[in-house]
Structure formats: structure tokens, C-alpha cells
Amino acid sequence: MEFARLLKPEAVKVVTAASSKKRLMQAFGELAQSAYDLDADKVVDALTERESLGPTGVGHGVALPHARLEGLDEVVGAFVLMEKPIDFSSVDRQPVDLAFALFAPIDAGVEHLKALALVARTLRDPSFCTKLRANRDPGTLFTILTEGRSDQAA
């Protein structure tokens, strides 16, 4: 599994005005629609429904919202860097400024889990997150995310 397979350049965005978790989910819906031709409302509903099962804020300013959606053939993702961190009910109660959403087919099994593990492992690296936070250009963020990042076991 590689980041380059999960992410398109047009699925990376810097958000200046996300003031809540709900607004972030809407930003992910818009990204999923423009990058992958998914229904924005269904994306928001699926992410919100998954979030109601338990927050996906994993700590250290990082959130990994994810959902299964109809109409997908493979696992895809979207990345958002927020200029102002937001409350995400994270495990460490710290606000979130880096969020990587994964969208998987309804029947995705191990591929969804591999993608989630890759993203979680990568965004657990403090120096990698520092590099992301130091950039505000979506193209640069895409390059940072996709350059040489892969799951060796996949």
C-alpha cells in the first residue's frame, strides 16, 4: 500500500476557516466530490455516522476520519491541513490541525485496514507532521505525503 495510490493532488487542501468538526467533514465531502466524484452529502453523512461511534482524533493534533461508501472500487483518501486547530474530541484532548480521511468500498476488508494502518503510522511520526505543518501549499503537501511513503508489508 502506498500513499500515492490513496491520494490525488486535488484531494489535498489547506482550510483557513474550519471552525468545527462539522465544517471539517463538509470540507472532506467537497474534496471527495471534486477529486473522486463522490456525493458530498453522502460522504459527510458517512463520516459523521462513523464519528458517532467514537472520535477518530488520534492525538498530537491528528485526526483520521474514515467511512465506507457505495460507488467506490478502491480505498481513496483526502488530506486537510487546518490553519486554525479545531476541537475534535481527540484521545489526548488536543485540537486537530492535520486530518486524513479515508473512503473505502462497502465490502473493503483488509485493504481498508492496511490503508488506515499506513496513514496512522505515518502521521504518528512527529518530524513528518512538523514538515506538513510548515507548509501551506497543497502541491507541496501532496509531495510530502506521497514521496517514498509506503507500507513495506503490503
Catalytic annotation, residues: 66
How far separated are the first and last CA of the chain, in Å rounded? Answer: 5
Contacts of 116 (CB under 8 A, 6+ apart): 64, 66, 102
79 touches 99 (CB < 8 A): yes
Coil, helix or strand for 77? strand
User: 110, 112, 86: which is closest to 99 by C-alpha?
Assistant: 86
d(CA 116, CA 103) in angstroms, rounded, equals: 10
d(CA 11, CA 107) in angstroms, rounded, equals: 23
User: 135, 103, 139, 137: which is closest to 119 by C-alpha?
Assistant: 103
